[in-house]
Chain A
């Protein structure tokens, strides 16, 4: 069973520095970090103290709102530091890794036989539950709920994104076991979307017990939120869950082996990377393992994640929990003489106000300059052209700005997440911070509903 979804609106931002499909050498990093700030809306309560010995899969902290949601160590070793910020907010739990990873062992089995309750309990205990996220609100799934569907987007359409076919090579068994586990969690179906017009890797085409979708079109076609909107849109009171394919395999491996193995493949890309390629690492890895000696000279922005939604980190920072790529691009902190009037051969724009429209296939080396100043809403129709959803983005943003909960509901807040508005933010002439606004709206509505 397979369905075609054609996405028309959106835009692919072509950047230089795409990763070659080869694995880079990487020496194991000494320290690993798990950042509670990666989990939106989670207030962490610590279960370990500095100096404690932990195994991969040992619980480190839990969520204050739901003490069943546990977060566990990706590697074994010693808790080296608990880094706090303002108001003693916990920013990082750092683990000094053993040379050889030792694992907690869990009594798992075939998820289909275990059933929903047992699968949920095991995933919660081993710290795998945070891999399952939900819409609305774009937060960790509520273990008590039963979603109407679970979505897996098997491709990433964001700039410089890793090729999931390559990432998932050889993980067929784990991926299938993960799907089986997810199937126990929902009464509905598990949806798997692959990029149309390409032959998906065996791991995806051979997957059983899923509904396949072929999605074509520019970014954000790969965003799971867009796919949900087109396949099974969320209404008030409903929930849909989603999991990244690599995380599905991690869940599957857990049920196959009884271990929480947090290894993943990531890609390191961007114009400022000497050798953009793929690396096999463990979640929470220190980026210097891949970036030392691999960055060009100059003022560089290192991003854990992609250029649209990732978070700014330092070159010796750590990989974010949900990230599968690291991007390095130049900082654009130089004022540009008459930049607003210059022909702009090297400026990316969805308007044709720059000469760069003459080169449609051109790959850009974009920097982090805002290219202008924040202004009131003036230009209209821009967001609509890059958001392939049947909602009115500008009206929704305005409803959030004035805190009108009812209007937000009516305009479709339950269906969106910040990442869906990333492109709107890129193209915005008035340089609005749309992702931040959407996140505030989601927080507001979640607060109101609970």
Chain B
């Protein structure tokens, strides 16, 4: 197998080298070859041995962490659809129903996104970066299930080009590309991104369905979350919200599945525990403040329920921790994470037009992350200057 693949690449390679027929397409072949083989490239300068980790593996591990949310999301789509239409279903049929809805979204996301990445690599003569591997999975997971595929494709185009490539590609972007896609759709096609018809599959065509999210319900002043809420559609128990058996974006409903992914990211050391922990603290603090002054249903929602509804958990674990768009210093990560959590709940409560706050909170803090880092680094610089002044006094 190894030999066969090696021979294949060695065979076609000359066509892609300088002077070959497909010289311009070299980055594309290179991307495939390095996908199959980690290159035999050895160290030349500096340290002779290197850590086994590379960007491919890092990105791949984030995708593994997304798998529980993805699989649960598939099941939940079927579950929401069948349970609300009243049709009979089994675990398998619910899962299959969801899979049929979600897989095309994933295919479109990767197809369009990677296509653009390859195109840019070829135009620039660069290697293809791995950045989109994660964004490509994140984007379908934060979209409503009934989003038309062509809209998804446009949002991917926007995210990759405006969110990333105009800044110079992976590692250079200011905003989280996946959230850029969602924000773009939210402002460009708001009717497909909010309201009570998009969160449950086929909700717009079947009358009986109450397809609004818990947050949507809360914003409208309804009581949708209670310990005894099992009666009737449009009302859920906190346990259902925690498990994720509620309407919402494809992958963001199950706090449990997200915690599994978070545990994996924290254990492997790939996700930032500082951001996740301080984000949780920030949200708790804001939630407690609102609880103290509760005047409406959203403000009165117990602080711990805020942590399990909406996209909060998903955003905190998978979006806020994006190392490129988050704060980069360790102290900065504490501040950044805290403010993401704090603003997520604040926006959620104060902005009835758009009850999901985590997306805007993260995008807002993405913009401020460099500023936070600047002050953290500047404090360090001041310490050094002060030391110098005392030393030379």
Contact = CB atoms under 8 A, between A and B. Distances in A.
Interface of A: 13, 15, 159, 233, 235-238, 301, 303, 307-310, 312, 327, 329, 331-341, 344, 347-354, 356, 366-373, 375-381, 384, 390-392, 394-395, 410-412, 418, 422-423, 425-431, 433-436
B296 interface: no
B42 A373 contact: no
Contacts, number: 217
A335 B38 contact: yes
Contacts of A332: 40, 42
B377 interface: yes
B56 to A, nearest CB: 4
Nearest to A341: B60
A435 B42 contact: no
Given A336-B38, A349-B53, A373-B41, A410 B46 contact: no
B171 A377 contact: yes
B215 to A, nearest CB: 31
Contacts of A352: 267-269
A391 B130 CA distance: 29
Interface in B32-79: 34, 36-58, 60-61
A235 B384 contact: yes
A76 B53 CA distance: 49
Interface stretch (B83-91, B237-245, B321-329, B349-357): B321-329
B51 A410 contact: no
B269 A350 contact: yes
B42 A390 contact: no
Given A337-B2, A391-B380, A429-B58, A351 B269 contact: yes
A238 B38 contact: no
Nearest to B55: A375
Interface of B: 1-2, 5-6, 34, 36-58, 60-61, 127, 129-131, 168-172, 267-270, 272, 323-324, 326, 328-330, 333, 373, 377, 380-381, 383-385, 387-388, 391-392
A233 B270 contact: no
Given A351-B268, A369-B41, A435 B46 contact: yes
Contacts of B34: 373
28 contacts: A235-B387, A303-B48, A307-B47, A309-B46, A332-B40, A348-B52, A350-B53, A351-B51, A351-B268, A352-B267, A353-B61, A367-B49, A368-B49, A369-B41, A369-B50, A370-B42, A370-B43, A375-B55, A378-B131, A379-B58, A380-B272, A380-B326, A410-B384, A411-B381, A422-B46, A429-B54, A435-B46, A435-B47
B40 A333 contact: yes
Contact of A371 (B48, B52, B131, B269): B52
Q: Is the interface of A mostly helix, strand, loop or mixed?
A: loop
Contact of B45 (A338, A353, A436): A436
A303 B43 CA distance: 12
B38 A422 contact: no
Contacts of A301: 42, 48
A384 B330 contact: yes
A411 B224 CA distance: 53
Top 8 closest A-B pairs, CB basis?
A372-B54, A376-B171, A347-B52, A339-B38, A235-B388, A335-B37, A435-B46, A340-B56
Of listed A159, A352, A370, residue having the most chain B CB within 10 A: A370
B377 to A, nearest CB: 5
Contact of A379 (B6, B45, B323, B387): B323
Given A236-B388, A237-B392, A434-B46, A353 B37 contact: no
A366 B392 contact: no
Nearest to A386: B51
A352 to B, nearest CB: 5
A333 B49 CA distance: 12
A422 B47 contact: yes
B47 A376 contact: no
B10 to A, nearest CB: 10
A392 B377 contact: yes
A376 B170 contact: yes
Given A336-B37, A353-B270, A430-B55, A380 B48 contact: no
A238 B391 CA distance: 9
Contacts of B58: 351, 353, 378-379, 429
A371 B377 contact: no
Given A347-B52, A373-B127, A436 B384 contact: no
Contacts of B5: 337
A426 B269 contact: no
A356 B57 CA distance: 15
Contacts of A336: 37-38, 40
Nearest to A334: B40
B49 A366 contact: yes
Contacts of B36: 337-338
B37 A337 contact: yes
A429 B55 contact: yes
B391 A235 contact: yes
Contacts of B391: 235, 238
Contacts of B169: 376
Given A301-B42, A351-B269, 9 more contacts: A235-B392, A335-B38, A351-B268, A371-B52, A376-B168, A378-B55, A379-B323, A410-B381, A429-B51
Contact of B268 (A341, A353, A394): A353
Contacts of B129: 375-376
Contacts of B39: 335, 370, 373
Contacts of A303: 48
A371 B45 contact: no
A391 B47 CA distance: 21
B388 A392 contact: no
B384 A340 contact: no
Contacts of A412: 384
Most chain A beta-carbon contacts within 10 A, residue among B38, B326, B391: B38
A433 B45 contact: yes
B52 A335 contact: no
A354 to B, nearest CB: 5
